[in-house]
Amino acid sequence: MYTRAGNHAPRALINPPTHIEYKGTRFLIVDAPSNNNLPLYLQEFERWNVTDVVRCCEATYAKEPLIDKGIQVHDWVFGDGEAPPAAIVEVWLNLIEERFGKRDAEKNTEDHKPCIATHCVAGLGRAPVLVAIALIEEGMPPLDAVAYIRERRRGAINNKQLRYIETYKSRSKKQCIIC
């Protein structure tokens, strides 16, 4: 696309990131960047104050540009269409606790709230499952977590992953005793 002056208009991502926020936790679900479109993702990451990127699929881009921007990159790869293994769930929950567990009201102003971006190839399976686990840990019922994500990211979470989420048991101590 060109402007009248012949300059390129700003490009946008084909599949825009999906922002998920719940009880002070913030996530960005994206499809896999490439080295070619990574600058567009970096703009989005900066916009949402992304502190970490979790790659659930094989790397499709160099992580150095993210590291140069102060973004930590975590390679937690698991099978396409699968639920995450227990070891990945454990490191995921630890990351969430590190980023959101000690919510400092002064540090985490509206402009500086941390956000964790996660992606798989299309941002429809592995990445949304991790975010659903986070929502469940924050007290959202499993099926509500899936519906909440699907409202924002159409086609997210396949049937096998849905069954996993339905049976997922929260490890959080924040769960309501009455529930």
| From 80, 111, 115, 144, the catalytic residue | 80
- Integer Cα distance of 128 and 131 in angstroms: 5
| Sheet order of strands, 72-75 included | 18-22, 25-30, 115-119, 50-55, 72-75
C-alpha distance across the termini of the chain, in Å = 54
State the 10-residue block means of pLDDT for the chain, 179 residues long: 36 80 91 89 92 90 93 90 90 92 54 86 83 93 91 86 88 52
* pLDDT score for 176: 47
| 120 is annotated as an active-site residue | yes
| 80 is annotated as an active-site residue | yes
* pLDDT score for 159: 85
- Integer Cα distance of 20 and 152 in angstroms: 8
* pLDDT score for 45: 92
- Integer Cα distance of 129 and 72 in angstroms: 20
* pLDDT score for 24: 87
- Domains contained in the chain, CATH given: 18-167 (3.90.190.10)
Cα atoms found within 13 Å of the Cα of residue 173, Cβ hemisphere only: 2
3-state helix, strand, coil in the chain (%, to 5): 35, 15, 50
| From 56, 57, 115, 120, the catalytic residue | 120
